[in-house]
Chain A
Amino acid sequence: MDIFIADTVALFLFAVGLYGVMTSNVGIKMLISVEIMINSAVIALVVSAVNSMEPIVLALFVIAIAAVESVIGVSLLVAVFRKFGRVSISLLKEIRE
């Protein structure tokens, strides 16, 4: 039952993050929303470590990978800012004509 409550909280946080990614137009805001999604998944991982530590191991790796991903994301957005002048995603329509 406890796992059920924790899963519900995690899914709710996940939905919040997903909503943020889908509705936002600003790169940094999207990055923060993605972080919320990943961290909600970490909650779900940690609460499932009932009998062994395996999910905790994965959770540690996930935290490290999330850090790497935000590094890549911020550096991409910096490059976008230098080329386009803003970090608004709606500016990116060179390909779609």
Chain B
Amino acid sequence: MITESISTVTGIQSLQYLYPLIVLGIAGFVILGLGLVTSSKRAYAGIAFGSLVLAAILLLVIPQNTYNVLSDSFTFNQFGLYFAILFLISSLFITLPSLKNISAKGDIFYALLLFVTTGMVVAAFTMNLIVLFISFEAVSIGTYVLAAFHKTRRTLEASTKYFFTGVVSTSFIIFGLAFFYQAMGTFQLGPAMAVASKPALLIALLFLTIGFGFKVAIFPMHQWAIDTYYGSENSVSAFLSTGSKLVAFMIMIKVFIIGFASMGEDVFLLFTLLAVFTMTYGNISALSTTNVKKLFAYSSIAQAGYLILVFSITSYAMWSGQNYSFIAINAVAAAMLYSLVYIFMKGGAFVFLNTVDKESPEFSDISGLARKSPALAMGLSILLLALAGIPFTGGFTGKFYMFLYLVDVKLWWLAIIAILNSAISVFYYFRVIMYMYWKPESQVLMTRSRAASATVLISAVVVVVIFFFFPLFPLLHGYATSLFGVTG
């Protein structure tokens, strides 16, 4: 295994690592206080934007090595740094476009957004299950409120469904953690964990999979996701399907790859089954819908299926006794790359809905968009092609590495299922593009939301740039190593 120098930081020196969190938290309270003085949405958005950027800069100046801070509660490594930056991006993504969605109580919206982001960054920087659980709950509870924002009939329904499934999943997670402790005797994820009781660990695996599976929206636990993504405000849907989903995914990487490293066979069987069903369900259901927002919701489920393939790769490498640490690092790096692309393509697609002057547009409402605003149609087309995994977009790169390592561990049949699924998905993404380019113009107006249009275009550019930026994967490979460096 890899050994890396791990420094322990105690006392007042710990503070420099916590500055990004402090900045985000304080900015949240500042916005709440400002809400008493002014009701200018732009002021709140400006502070939120500024503090998110400042937090990102503060994260980047932390010396890049692995540090255990505050008696192992926090573990600052490059893996966490990368995901923390991703979470900040996913919040930045909706900061300005959501100005259009908010009519009142903008202070509460932006304060909640910052508090949720703080929870996400904490989750990125810890290997302790207690802290992981608390930060995960901070994210969940914040997003229940965000989903209900405006308290209209639609958002209330979306949030109530999200809330009840979310709370049930929380109790599954707590139960799973209890059994995990009974089996392992520790909450600290890390080197060579000794298993005391196999049956307890098996129950823990089942409960934790159900619990986190709800948040990532994998197949049997996906029902809430369609309603919530479809019912919430567009920018909140964007946040739920990027930031909130990736937090759960990142926690799953930590728990199921590091924590359950000794259970190769069971993890493999469980997650392969779930991945196959999730991909197939998401893609097949998306074929029949004619609503753009619902299509994005279904495709978001299908994408979760591709993401969790990483657990099949690592656990199969463990089970079949292949070069585990080498393959696991590659697989995690592939998952990290896919997460990066996923944020831009999915977030951009949901934010696009903000430019259409209708609550949940059908295909016919965006037909002829290419003539009304060519740039926007081009941007959305690139994002949809990326979601389908067409070459010359980052979506291809993400899927390529994921499927490459599937073949690498000789799971070629699973790779074929995944590629077939991508082929199915091309149909429904192309239907949207067809409506935009080859159908008569619809009467629905486009709003002049400059922030939303800019976000769509920027994400389209980034998605294309990722494809041509070849040193990215070796870089991520180094970052993924730091996750396993702790296990050295």
Which chain B residue has the least Cβ–Cβ distance from A92? Answer: B157
Which chain B residue has the least Cβ–Cβ distance from A57? Answer: B130
- Pick the residue among A30, A44, A73, A95 that contacts B157 (CB under 8 A): A95
The docked-state distance in angstroms from the alpha carbon of A18 to that of B133 is 21
- Pick the residue among B160, B168, B171 that contacts A80 (CB under 8 A): B160
Given A61-B130, A65-B137, decide whether A76 and B163 contact each other with a Cβ distance below 8 A.
Answer: yes
B336 contacts partner chain A, Cβ-Cβ < 8 Å: no
Whether A89 pairs with B160 at a CB distance below 8 angstroms is: yes
Given A21-B164, A48-B182, A69-B141, decide whether A76 and B156 contact each other with a Cβ distance below 8 A.
Answer: yes
Given A34-B168, A69-B141, decide whether A44 and B178 contact each other with a Cβ distance below 8 A.
Answer: yes
Whether A54 pairs with B181 at a CB distance below 8 angstroms is: yes
Q: Which residues of B contact A76 (CB under 8 A)?
A: 144, 148, 156, 159-160, 163
B477 contacts partner chain A, Cβ-Cβ < 8 Å: no
The docked-state distance in angstroms from the alpha carbon of A51 to that of B185 is 8
Q: List 21 A-B contacts (CB under 8 A).
A: A10-B178, A14-B171, A14-B175, A38-B170, A40-B171, A41-B171, A44-B179, A45-B178, A48-B181, A51-B185, A54-B130, A54-B187, A55-B187, A61-B130, A61-B134, A76-B156, A76-B160, A77-B160, A79-B156, A84-B153, A92-B161
- Pick the residue among A41, A65, A69, A95 that contacts B178 (CB under 8 A): A41
A36 to chain B, nearest CB (A): 9
A16 contacts partner chain B, Cβ-Cβ < 8 Å: no
Whether A94 pairs with B164 at a CB distance below 8 angstroms is: no
Whether B160 pairs with A65 at a CB distance below 8 angstroms is: no
Known: A38-B174, A73-B167. 12 other contacts (CB 8 A): A21-B168, A27-B160, A37-B168, A37-B171, A38-B171, A54-B181, A55-B178, A79-B151, A79-B156, A80-B160, A83-B156, A89-B160
Whether B148 pairs with A79 at a CB distance below 8 angstroms is: yes
* Chain A, range 17-34, C-beta contacts under 8 Å to B: 17-18, 21, 27, 30, 34
Q: Which 4 interchain pairs have the tightest Cβ spacing?
A: A44-B178, A41-B174, A37-B171, A92-B157
Please count how many residues in chain B sit with their CB below 8 Å of the partner chain's CB atoms.
38
The docked-state distance in angstroms from the alpha carbon of A93 to that of B160 is 11
Interface 1/0 per residue, B167-200 and A, CB below 8 Å: 1101100110111011001110000000000000
The docked-state distance in angstroms from the alpha carbon of A97 to that of B174 is 35
The docked-state distance in angstroms from the alpha carbon of A10 to that of B178 is 11
B9 contacts partner chain A, Cβ-Cβ < 8 Å: no
B294 to chain A, nearest CB (A): 9
Whether A41 pairs with B175 at a CB distance below 8 angstroms is: yes
The docked-state distance in angstroms from the alpha carbon of A52 to that of B162 is 35
Given A44-B178, A95-B231, decide whether A17 and B171 contact each other with a Cβ distance below 8 A.
Answer: yes
Q: Which residues of A contact B154 (CB under 8 A)?
A: 94-95
Q: Which residues of B contact A38 (CB under 8 A)?
A: 167, 170-171, 174
The docked-state distance in angstroms from the alpha carbon of A23 to that of B437 is 48
Whether A45 pairs with B151 at a CB distance below 8 angstroms is: no
Q: Which residues of A contact B134 (CB under 8 A)?
A: 61, 65
B362 contacts partner chain A, Cβ-Cβ < 8 Å: no
B227 contacts partner chain A, Cβ-Cβ < 8 Å: yes
The docked-state distance in angstroms from the alpha carbon of A72 to that of B229 is 19
A58 contacts partner chain B, Cβ-Cβ < 8 Å: yes
The docked-state distance in angstroms from the alpha carbon of A1 to that of B482 is 40
A3 contacts partner chain B, Cβ-Cβ < 8 Å: yes
The docked-state distance in angstroms from the alpha carbon of A53 to that of B373 is 61
Which chain A residue has the least Cβ–Cβ distance from B158? Answer: A95
Whether B163 pairs with A45 at a CB distance below 8 angstroms is: no
Whether B186 pairs with A54 at a CB distance below 8 angstroms is: yes
B44 contacts partner chain A, Cβ-Cβ < 8 Å: no
A20 to chain B, nearest CB (A): 11
Interface 1/0 per residue, B233-252 and A, CB below 8 Å: 00000000000000000000
The docked-state distance in angstroms from the alpha carbon of A68 to that of B139 is 13
B145 contacts partner chain A, Cβ-Cβ < 8 Å: yes
Q: Which residues of A contact B130 (CB under 8 A)?
A: 54, 57-58, 61
Q: Which residues of A contact B230 (CB under 8 A)?
A: 95
Whether B160 pairs with A92 at a CB distance below 8 angstroms is: yes
Given A54-B130, A65-B134, decide whether A94 and B157 contact each other with a Cβ distance below 8 A.
Answer: yes
Q: Which residues of A contact B182 (CB under 8 A)?
A: 3, 7, 48
A92 to chain B, nearest CB (A): 4
Q: Which residues of A contact B156 (CB under 8 A)?
A: 76, 79-80, 83-84, 92
Interface 1/0 per residue, A42-71 and B, CB below 8 Å: 101100100100110110011001001100
Which chain A residue has the least Cβ–Cβ distance from B180? Answer: A48
B289 to chain A, nearest CB (A): 12
Q: Which residues of B contact A92 (CB under 8 A)?
A: 156-157, 160-161
The docked-state distance in angstroms from the alpha carbon of A51 to that of B160 is 40
The docked-state distance in angstroms from the alpha carbon of A82 to that of B481 is 52
Whether B157 pairs with A55 at a CB distance below 8 angstroms is: no
A52 to chain B, nearest CB (A): 8
Whether A48 pairs with B174 at a CB distance below 8 angstroms is: no
The docked-state distance in angstroms from the alpha carbon of A20 to that of B177 is 23
Which chain A residue has the least Cβ–Cβ distance from B179? Answer: A44
Q: Which residues of B contact A55 (CB under 8 A)?
A: 178, 181, 187
Q: Which residues of A contact B158 (CB under 8 A)?
A: 95
The docked-state distance in angstroms from the alpha carbon of A7 to that of B175 is 10
Q: Which residues of A contact B159 (CB under 8 A)?
A: 76
